[in-house]
Amino acid sequence: MIRKDYIIALQTITYKEVRRFLRIWVQTLLPSIITTTLYFLIFGTLIGSRIGQMKGYDYMDFIVPGLILMAVISNAYSNVVSSFYGSKFQHNIEEMLVAPMPSWVILTGYISGGVMRGLIVGVLVTIVSLFFTDLKIAHPVMMVVVFLLTGVLFSAAGFINAVYARSFDDISIVPTFVLTPLIYLGGVFYSIELLPEFWQKVSLLNPVFYMIDVFRYSVLGESDVSLLVGFSVIILFIVTLLTLSLRLLNKGIGLKN
Partner 1 sequence: MNALKITQLKKYYSNGLLALKGIDLEVKQGDFFALLGANGAGKSTTIGIIASLVNKTSGSVTVFGHDLDQEPEAVKRCIGLVPQEFNFNQFENVFDIVVSQAGYYGIPRKKALERAEICLKLLELWDKRNEASRELSGGMKRRLMIARALVHEPKLLILDEPTAGVDIEIRRSMWEFFKKINKAGTTIILTTHYLEEAESLCRHIAIINKGEVIENTNMKSLLENAAEEVFVLNLEKPVEVIPSILGCNIIPIDETTWQVSVQKENGINGLFVGLDRLGIRVSGLRNESNRLEQLFLNLLTNKKEL
d(CA 51, CA 46): 10
Closest contact distance (angstroms) between CB of 82 and partner 1 is: 12
Q: How far is the CB of 10 from partner 1 (least distance, A)?
A: 9
CA 26 to CA 59: how far, in whole Å?
Answer: 30
Q: Which is nearer to partner 1, 12 or 35 (CB)?
A: 12
Single out the residue of 36, 65, 247, 24 nearest to residue 156, CA to CA: 247
Supply the minimum distance, in Å, between the C-beta of residue 252 and partner 1: 6
Indicate the residue among 97 and 142 with the shorter CB distance to partner 1.
97
Nearer to partner 1, 87 or 206 (CB): 87
> Identity (one letter) of the amino acid at 17?
E
Minimum CB separation of residue 33 from partner 1 in Å reads 23
* Residues within the interface to partner 1 (CB under 8 A): 3-6, 8-9, 11-13, 15-16, 19, 23, 86-87, 90-92, 94-102, 252, 256-257
- How far is the C-alpha of 106 from the C-alpha of 76, rounded, in Å? 16
Pick the closer one to partner 1 by CB: 12 or 200: 12
Least CB distance from residue 90 to partner 1, whole Å? 6
Taking the C-alpha atoms of residue 147 and residue 119, their distance in angstroms, rounded to an integer, is 6
DSSP classification of residue 100: S
3-state secondary structure 229-241: HHHHHHHHHHHHH
C-beta closer to partner 1: residue 88 or 139: 88
Q: Which contacts (CB < 8 Å, 24+ apart) does range 222-225 have?
A: 222/55, 222/56, 222/57, 224/187, 224/191, 224/192, 224/193
Q: Of 91 and 201, which CB lies nearer to partner 1 in the complex structure?
A: 91
- Judged by beta carbon, residue 101 or residue 214, the one nearer partner 1 is 101
Residue type present at position 155 = S
Element (H, E) at 18: helix 4-23
DSSP 8-state assignment for residue 196? -
Closest CA to 171 of 160, 180, 182: 160
CB of 116 to partner 1, least distance (A): 17
Alpha-carbon span 33 to 60, nearest angstrom: 16
Q: How far is the CB of 175 from partner 1 (least distance, A)?
A: 22
